[in-house]
């Protein structure tokens, strides 16, 4: 009996383990890797035939009709009802919606398949599959065996491929990708953006030593007085290194060659926490986005990263960067290239979006409403653009569910762990326009606590709503008590009234904290010109921005920045005016052809004025 029980437990454990999440490997650019980007074979499977039998039971691992198994006909009599071959293909990375007219509105399962070769691994070497993002649910199989699954459409994940599963030639890799929306997921069923499906970011095969640096964090110690540090030119840096496996004894060597710094830190166990002083450090800021090459050496592997040093904090109603007050001249951005009607994923895409932001004289972007790809935050580091990064806890999440809270926490952790060395990121946002209730507030508060426990060197916020109330608009959402800055979305003159209502509007905040307008905006169809009293015309949007800017100029001294909605038009199934919207949210300052609308100039001039007054 005991034997029977034991074997039952063993089986249960293996079954659980096969889909258990593995800790994220960070900075994959700096690891030995083989790109698995390119053209993958696909099967569009709306009924999930490759996953379920006709009795709607999950298929067994060896079921030859399961789509993770290589379909081989035994002879000409044999019946096979699926297969992977040209021309049934989709490019990776990329969303599927933009790659075929039949997939524009598709929400469901698509199976992706490709083969890969891998040199014979040396003793102790290990192979991992890394995905930059798959929207929304991914199940990953190699040579017929399941490696694991992942939920969350905008954050990376990885799985180890057991050595005995690997061959040097023709490994059969299959990923089941499902982007169906569900009430119990993050985001939930209702959003104002396109649910682009697919393997939307890079896929890599990582070759790692037996033990390696899995994650690390390095920043100016948030507790130090930055004025004193600047005066004395002595900066305290603190951080941590997490190893994949515990060691009895080992060393991590940390070097910043440009500063002539190199230090050996002994490590035992799987975690090292360190601090050290640097002299004559050039601090990172939008005006001077100085990055230093940082090298981390462990077990024969050298990781290289480009990291800047800066301090972000609040003092009463002000936001301070490196001890000086800073005004955030921001713009909200979706991860989309409008002219090509697709998700953005590459360094070139990041450059296009951030160059537009620079042309606007912006010094900050709000990356809405989910973590964007890593190229965006790396490019922002290099270009000197501050970043607000957010998880898709958007509108009506199931705030009463612990399971949903866990999913939000997982996405929050994956976002922070991937990007906590990106100097440009100054704000982690835990959500957008969540409806006020005690249940919601405690859900959001636990996300804030989680964010702080993972990273105490950045500000935490969430985009709140405003209670429009005659001439006095009061921001008193109880969540504001827990965030570092009070951020609010306001659409005075678009969703209610007309733009000139801004003339008499007053703003009151219940908290003694910086106030940030995380959204404001109005829709206009690019190239539609009329008088300003015509909705959807470029002139109406221009008028809206003029009135908003005039109102902002009268703001009290807690006013610390804004990120209007939005840089460019983006796809949304909620936007169905047959003439002016045609499936697009038209609040972009740039239209779907990449052409700037009139309002772009209004915000650009306002930002230039602010910049030159500083």
| Tokens coding 132 | 């930059």
Shortest Cβ contact with ligand GCB: which residue? 192
Q: Does 585 bind ligand GCB (CB under 6 A)?
A: yes
Smallest separation, CB 542 to ligand GCB (Å): 17
**Nearest by Cα to 355 from 570, 596, 184, 519:** 596
* C-alpha–C-alpha distance, residues 202 and 33, integer Å: 12
594 preceded by a cis bond (ω within 30 of 0): no
Q: Decide whether 113 or 585 has the Cβ nearer to ligand GCB.
A: 585
CB 343 within 8 Å of CB 377: no
Core vs surface per residue 493-503: b (16+ CB within 10 A) or e: bbeeebbeebe
Tokens 């490709």 locate to 114
Among 137, 305, 477, 519, the residue binding ligand GCB under the rule CB under 6 A is 519
How many chain residues touch ligand GCB (CB under 6 A)?
Answer: 9
Q: Does 421 bind ligand GCB (CB under 6 A)?
A: no
Q: Does 372 bind ligand GCB (CB under 6 A)?
A: no
Smallest separation, CB 489 to ligand GCB (Å): 4
Q: Does 565 bind ligand GCB (CB under 6 A)?
A: yes
List the x/- string, 312-351, binding to ligand GCB by CB under 6 A.
Answer: ----------------------------------------
Q: Does 420 bind ligand GCB (CB under 6 A)?
A: no
Q: Does 192 bind ligand GCB (CB under 6 A)?
A: yes
CB 491 within 8 Å of CB 519: yes
Q: Does 433 bind ligand GCB (CB under 6 A)?
A: yes
Q: Does 424 bind ligand GCB (CB under 6 A)?
A: no
**H runs (alpha helix) in 131-193:** none
Q: Does 547 bind ligand GCB (CB under 6 A)?
A: no
Q: Sign of the C-alpha dihedral, residues 50, 54, 60, 62?
A: negative
CB 385 within 8 Å of CB 364: yes
Q: Does 563 bind ligand GCB (CB under 6 A)?
A: no
Q: Is 172 exposed, middle or buried (0-12, 13-18, 19+ CB in 10 A)?
A: middle
**Nearest by Cα to 580 from 602, 597, 601:** 597
3 state SS of 251: strand
CB 480 within 8 Å of CB 511: yes
Smallest separation, CB 564 to ligand GCB (Å): 11
Q: Decide whether 49 or 585 has the Cβ nearer to ligand GCB.
A: 585
Q: Decide whether 546 or 586 has the Cβ nearer to ligand GCB.
A: 586
Q: Decide whether 59 or 587 has the Cβ nearer to ligand GCB.
A: 587
Q: Does 390 bind ligand GCB (CB under 6 A)?
A: no
Q: Does 569 bind ligand GCB (CB under 6 A)?
A: no
* C-alpha–C-alpha distance, residues 612 and 114, integer Å: 54
* C-alpha–C-alpha distance, residues 170 and 559, integer Å: 59
Q: Does 432 bind ligand GCB (CB under 6 A)?
A: yes
Smallest separation, CB 435 to ligand GCB (Å): 12
Q: Does 455 bind ligand GCB (CB under 6 A)?
A: no
Residues 29-58 that bind ligand GCB (CB under 6 A): none
Q: Decide whether 192 or 305 has the Cβ nearer to ligand GCB.
A: 192
**H runs (alpha helix) in 314-398:** 347-359, 374-383
Interaction site with ligand GCB (CB under 6 A):
192, 369, 432-433, 489, 519, 565, 585, 587
């Amino acid at each position: 009996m005991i034997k029977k029980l034991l074997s039952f437990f063993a089986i249960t454990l293996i079954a659980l383990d096969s889909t258990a999440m593995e800790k994220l490997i960070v900075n994959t650019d700096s690891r030995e890797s083989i790109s698995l980007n390119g053209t993958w074979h696909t099967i569009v499977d709306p009924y999930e035939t490759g996953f379920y039998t006709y009795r709607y039971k999950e298929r067994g691992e060896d079921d030859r009709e399961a789509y993770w198994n290589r379909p081989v006909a035994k002879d000409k009599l044999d019946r096979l009802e699926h297969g992977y071959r040209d021309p049934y293909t989709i490019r990776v990375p990329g969303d599927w919606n933009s790659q075929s007219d039949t997939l524009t509105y598709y929400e469901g399962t698509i199976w992706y398949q490709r083969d890969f070769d891998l040199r014979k691994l040396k003793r102790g070497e290990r192979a991992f599959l890394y995905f930059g993002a798959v929207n929304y649910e991914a199940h990953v199989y190699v040579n017929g065996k399941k490696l694991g699954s992942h939920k969350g459409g905008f954050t990376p994940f990885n799985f180890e491929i057991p050595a005995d599963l690997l061959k040097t030639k023709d490994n059969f890799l299959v990923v089941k990708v499902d982007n169906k929306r569900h009430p119990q997921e993050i985001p939930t069923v209702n959003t104002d953006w396109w649910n682009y499906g697919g393997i939307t970011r890079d896929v890599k095969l990582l070759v790692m030593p037996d033990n390696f640096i899995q994650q690390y964090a390095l920043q100016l110690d948030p507790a130090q007085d930055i004025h004193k540090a600047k005066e004395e030119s002595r900066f305290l840096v603190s951080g941590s290194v997490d190893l994949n496996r515990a060691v009895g004894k080992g060393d991590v060597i940390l070097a910043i060659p440009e500063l002539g710094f190199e230090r050996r830190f002994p490590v035992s166990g799987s975690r090292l926490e360190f601090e050290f002083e640097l002299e004559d450090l050039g601090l990172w800021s939008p005006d001077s986005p100085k990055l230093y090459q940082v090298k981390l050496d462990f077990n024969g592997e050298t990781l290289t990263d480009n990291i800047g040093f800066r301090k972000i904090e609040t003092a009463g109603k002000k936001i301070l960067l490196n001890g000086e007050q800073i005004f955030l001249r921001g713009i909200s951005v979706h991860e989309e290239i409008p002219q090509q009607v697709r998700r953005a994923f590459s360094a070139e895409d990041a450059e296009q979006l951030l160059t537009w932001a620079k042309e606007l004289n912006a010094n900050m972007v709000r990356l809405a409403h989910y973590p964007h790809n890593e190229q965006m935050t790396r490019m922002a580091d290099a270009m000197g653009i501050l970043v607000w990064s957010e998880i898709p806890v958007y509108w009506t999440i199931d705030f009463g569910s612990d399971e949903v809270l866990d999913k939000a926490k997982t996405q929050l952790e994956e976002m922070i762990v991937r990007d906590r060395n990106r100097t440009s990121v100054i704000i982690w946002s835990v959500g957008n326009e969540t409806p006020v209730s005690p249940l919601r507030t405690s859900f959001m508060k636990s996300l804030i606590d989680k964010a702080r426990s993972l990273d105490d060197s950045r500000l935490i916020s969430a985009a709140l709503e405003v209670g429009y109330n005659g001439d006095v608009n009061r921001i008193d959402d109880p969540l504001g008590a827990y965030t570092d800055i009070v951020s609010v979305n306001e659409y005075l003159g678009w969703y209610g009234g007309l733009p000139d209502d801004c003339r008499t509007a007053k703003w009151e905040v219940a908290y003694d904290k910086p106030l940030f307008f995380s959204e404001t905006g109005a829709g206009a169809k690019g190239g539609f010109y009329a008088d300003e009293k015509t909705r959807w015309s470029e002139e109406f949007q221009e008028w809206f921005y003029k009135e908003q800017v005039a109102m902002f100029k009268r703001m009290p001294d807690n006013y610390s920045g804004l990120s209007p909605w939005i840089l460019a038009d983006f796809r949304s199934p909620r936007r169905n005016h047959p003439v002016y919207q045609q499936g697009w949210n038209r609040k972009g300052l740039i239209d779907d052809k990449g052409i700037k609308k009139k309002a772009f100039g209004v915000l650009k001039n306002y930002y230039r004025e602010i910049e030159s007054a500083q």
